[in-house]
Structure formats: structure tokens, C-alpha cells
Amino acid sequence: MLKCTSVCGKLFILFIFAFVSFYIPTGKADARLTSYTSKVSVWDVKASGLNIRSGPGSVYPVIAQVSNGTDIVNNCPSTNCGLTSGGDFEWNRVYYPDGNIGYYANAASGWAAYYNTVGPTVFNYRDAHVAKTSRATSMYTSDCSNLSGMIRHFPEQNYYLQSFDPELKASPCNPNAWRLQDPQGDSDAQGYFYSGFVNGWNLKAE
């Protein structure tokens, strides 16, 4: 009986050690954002000039135009929006930058042709994977409806942040809340990269 107790005790200790080793993260990852959270795409415009229209088709009026390198955000609060066919193109509803507003907003939203369905396929905008600061900005823990709970500040321009997701994403409830992590900075108290929401108006997606 004593022998069994000793063996069982050792096996129990080994089990606990294996369990803890499996669940304790061994590298720096994320401590705040989660991959299963709903999100929408942030795209980088590749066309030299892209018309934003009031509806999904070339028959709708042009309400704005954005140039190469502009960042647009998918306007899909339900996160279940697919492409919409219209004419010879597939369309997405997007937020586009309007300097008179100073942030991504419903007042600056329209439809942008994603790619053509006739002839060789040309994409007007693409997924992005990193973003760099264009002015001083901060990282926050909360996204809806306003950014709050500052955890980091980035005072300089051209500081690169990495997308937390495989492609750059934003919060569906706030197109200004881009999901990023800071692999260049120090770690948080748990040894993870800092990650959170950064104001996309202060960033340039690449």
C-alpha cells in the first residue's frame, strides 16, 4: 500500500507538471485581443484612382474618390456581409477617409468595386498586414463605441505595428479601432506582446 501511494504520488506530480507546462505560454503572443472576436477587413487601395459610389454598381453616382495608398475599412457591422454583384464588378461597402470629418464614420461610407468579373481580374484594393503611425497615437483595451483604456502611447511617426490577425482587421462596431500588436516594444507583466486597438485614422496600412 505504501509503495502504491509513492508511485501514485509521483505519477500525480508528473501529470500536474505536464498540464501546467501545456497551458503556460512559452513565447510572447497576445494577452488582450482574441482571434475568435468578430472583425472586419482593412484594405489598402492599389488602383491609381478608385471611385466610391452610393450603391453597388457603376450606374450609381460617385460620392468620393480615393487614390493609391488610401486605407478603406469594410462597413459590415454584422460581419456576415459578402460581395455584392453589380454590373461587371463585385462590390464592398466601405468607410473611406474624409478630412472634413477627421475619422472613419458613417457619414463617409459608400460602395467600392473590389474586382472586375469580365476580362483579366484586377483587384482595386488588397489586404494589409502591418500599419505604421502617421502621427502620435495610442493603444487601447476597449473599442466600442469609443476607444478607451490606454495601455501604450506611440509619440513618433513611422512606428510599425503588426496586425494581430493574419490580415489587418478592425472592430465591426468602430472602424477606427484597428486590431494590432507591438512586437518592437517591451512585454506586459505576463510576458506577452502588448496588443489592443489603435486609432486607424492615425495609421497607414501596408
Q: How far apart are CA 77 and CA 143, in angstroms?
A: 13
Question: Which of 126, 141, 159 is the C-terminal boundary of a domain?
Answer: 126
Cell digits for 199? 486609432
Residue with cell 513618433: 156
Does any domain span residue 8? no
**Mean pLDDT, residues 175-184:** 96
Work out whether the CA dihedral 16, 19, 25, 27 comes out positive or negative: positive
User: CATH no. for residue 168?
Assistant: 2.30.30
Work out whether the CA dihedral 114, 54, 40, 84 comes out positive or negative: negative
48 and 118 both lie in a single domain: yes
Q: How far apart are CA 53 and CA 82, in angstroms?
A: 17
190 and 143 both lie in a single domain: yes
198 and 136 both lie in a single domain: yes
Does any domain span residue 59? yes
203 contacts: CB under 8 Å, gap ≥ 6? 71, 131, 132, 133, 134, 137, 161, 178
Tell me: pLDDT of 107 over 70.
yes
- Kindly report the average pLDDT of the chain as a whole number: 87
Q: How far apart are CA 60 and CA 92, in angstroms?
A: 14
Does any domain span residue 88? yes
CA angle 76, 52, 144 (to 5 degrees): 30
The pTM of this model reads 0.83
Label residue 30 by pLDDT band (50, 70, 90). Answer: very low
**Mean pLDDT, residues 5-19:** 40
Label residue 29 by pLDDT band (50, 70, 90). Answer: very low
The percent of residues above 90 in pLDDT, for the chain, comes to 74
Q: Which domain holds residue 133?
A: 128-205
**Mean pLDDT, residues 183-201:** 91
55 and 119 both lie in a single domain: yes
Tell me: pLDDT of 98 over 50.
yes
136 and 76 both lie in a single domain: no
Q: Are 106 and 177 in contact (CB under 8 A)?
A: no
**Mean pLDDT, residues 147-154:** 96
151 and 176 both lie in a single domain: yes
Q: How far apart are CA 175 and CA 95, in angstroms?
A: 8
* 39-91 per-position pLDDT tens digit: 999 999 999 999 999 999 999 999 999 999 999 999 999 888 989 999 999 99
Does any domain span residue 66? yes
Structurally, the chain folds into a number of domains equal to 2
165 and 193 both lie in a single domain: yes
163 and 180 both lie in a single domain: yes
Closest CA to 94 of 80, 109, 107: 109
* 126-143 per-position pLDDT tens digit: 999 999 999 999 999 999
What is the DSSP code (8-state) at residue 176?
E
**Mean pLDDT, residues 24-35:** 54
Does any domain span residue 77? yes
